[in-house]
Amino acid sequence: MTASRKPRRSIRSRPAAGGLPVPLRPARTVLPAVRATPEGGPSGAMAAADTLLQDLDMGLSAQVARLTRGLSPIALAEAWSDWAMHLALSPGKQAQLAVKGGHKVQRLASFMASCALKPHPAETCIRPLPQDKRFSHPGWTTWPYNVLSQSFLLTQQWWSNATTGVRGVTPQHENAVEFAARQALDVFSPSNFAWTNPEVAERTAQTGGTNFVSGWANFLNDWQRLAGGERPAGADDYVPGEQVAVTPGKIVYRNRLIELIQYEPATDKVRPEPVLIVPAWIMKYYILDLSPENSFVRYLTEQGFTVFMISWKNPDAGDRDLGMEDYLRLGVMAAMDAVCAITGRPGVHATGYCLGGTLLAIAAAAMARDGDGRIASLTFLATQTDFTEAGELTLFINDSQIAFLEAMMWDKGYLDTQQMTGAFEMLRSNDLVWSRMVRHYLMGEAEAMNDLMAWNADATRMPYRMHSEYLRHLFLENDLAEGRFIAGGQPVALSDIRVPVFLVGTERDHVAPWRSVYKFHLTADTDVTFLLTNGGHNAGIVSEPGHPRRHYRIREAARDDGYVDPDRFLEMVAVRDGSWWPELVEWLAARSGRSVAPPAIGAPEKGCAPLGAAPGTYVFAT
């Protein structure tokens, strides 16, 4: 028997007329210029001088940040100096590296000798990692390209040995140095140059060199678009409301931060519990409503669910002081109030994607703390709640780097889309930068745009205060997983969540690694169904039935079951072919009531009158 708990103060705002929330207090400013004290505080002139000097420091950091694309040179220098000084005091490690280097030279010399005797030697010195596709073309097995590729891979391996395993180096600094060394080496990969890439040489011979003419035209076109602030070629063929985000619906609620879309029913009867989707605000919402054939929203409506979706505003300089509390209050909780007002239902199947899922987890924990029982179930798609193993995004997340980003955002009031795009491209430079350069500029191939690529080019900004709080409290200090994150003036605990959870991770996720997503098991005190699907952060989620080469694993864990670690999960759970979407629908249906007539679109009498057709207006802000 569960003991009753006294309801605590809700995180929701005071209801306005119509029952929907309004802010209780103005947003606080971030990084105040000076902290006044009751007695002996700085005078007005001194406070102004302090503010001016702080602005000077912030302005200088902002200028440097533009040159380094947001990377803190101090953080990088700290990592390199930590590694270099410990390596200098490790003669044993130095000797080991010298021996390894000698062995690699010997292996390469032996391979070159075998190449002289046999044009296509069967044995190579080293094989690329499974995810490295740069040397998959058959031409890399012929001389001299095989020698070039083998030399590069051996060098890359030696540097990996050199930057790891040095006693005394902190794990973050070791990871950062290894990452930086790999990024620097990738610049000089033989696959990146026309005269050392057999695939480019073959294309040049076939086209008589016209591939370089086409490549130059592609380069000029890309440069013009970049200089003019235009989207990539072909992206304009995917316009929200025309080719993508076309599932019929209406905007039924709007505030300064969100538009709430209610989608039209696709069946005569619907499940009584509506589905509320909270997408990430890093990108536009319509990743979950792309083309009609791969729209997650359309699929749910066709399976008999009433679906609502938040469309976040693309913030500008005027939104600089919006924080996580504002996104919670004006986002999740405002949408929850509107959904319940429209449908008249006490239970909602809440679904969060990426950062939207993290915010939803905070809201769910706060609602459980406060005795608010409107959530019937939770679905988290590629969502992290524990950030101790958050992948390569954490390599440079420290106080120095965050202070540097804060200075860059302070200058404009937001984190620009170029910095966001650049950060993600850096994490996957082989796929997103160098391989594209080879195909587009050296091979002369036209880039085939699709709906997912067009959505990926439709980036958004991040408000100064919110992004600073997100990086500090979640990434750096891991406050949510450790029970220190404040919502509504009090800390929240994920262990307060008692509703069933459907948790989805993707195998090749660089943004929310699946092992990091899996850590929800360690903080949960409820039934958790974990599903691991193939694909990456976006493509793994957009996995409609009929999508080729899709598979997944799924396991249900009851609240009282013992913990199963990720490696054991892989060993004990069999792979199933196909899309994971039907699994979610079956899971939701088992936790829903009997079908009823669909609710009306909007509820004017409750302050939720339809304001226009989906996809609304916020999605078009650039």
Element (H, E) at 462: strand 462-463
Using CA atoms, how far apart are residues 64 and 130, in angstroms rounded to an integer?
A: 37
202-210 long-range contacts (CB < 8 A, ≥24 apart) are 202/139, 203/442, 203/443, 203/444, 207/444, 210/444
Pull the structure tokens for residue 309. Answer: 């979706």
Confirm if 336 and 301 have CB atoms less than 8 A apart: no
Element (H, E) at 115: helix 91-117
Confirm if 299 and 377 have CB atoms less than 8 A apart: no
Confirm if 59 and 411 have CB atoms less than 8 A apart: yes
Of 89, 74, 71, 73, nearest to 169 (Cα)? 89
Gyration radius of the chain over CA positions: 27
Helices (H), 118-243: 145-163, 171-187, 198-207, 210-227
> CA geometry: angle at 459 spanning 457 and 465, to 5°?
165
340 flagged as catalytic = no
Calculate the CA 341 to chain-centre distance: 32
Distances (CA, A) of 126 to 100, 108, 495: 14, 10, 47
Confirm if 398 and 360 have CB atoms less than 8 A apart: no
Other CB atoms within a 10 A radius of the CB of residue 176 amount to 27
What single-letter amino acid sits at 155? Answer: T
Q: Exactly one of 125, 340, 354, 608 is catalytic; name it.
A: 354
Please report how the helices 399-412 and 73-88 are oriented relative to each other, as an axis angle in degrees rounded to 10: 160
Of 335, 272, 275, nearest to 300 (Cα)? 275
Of 218, 552, 65, 172, nearest to 393 (Cα)? 172
Confirm if 564 and 555 have CB atoms less than 8 A apart: yes
Strands (E), 575-620: 576-577
Contacts of 501 by beta carbon, 8 Å cutoff, 6+ apart: 377, 378, 379, 380, 520, 524, 526, 527, 528, 529
Annotated catalytic sites, by residue?
354
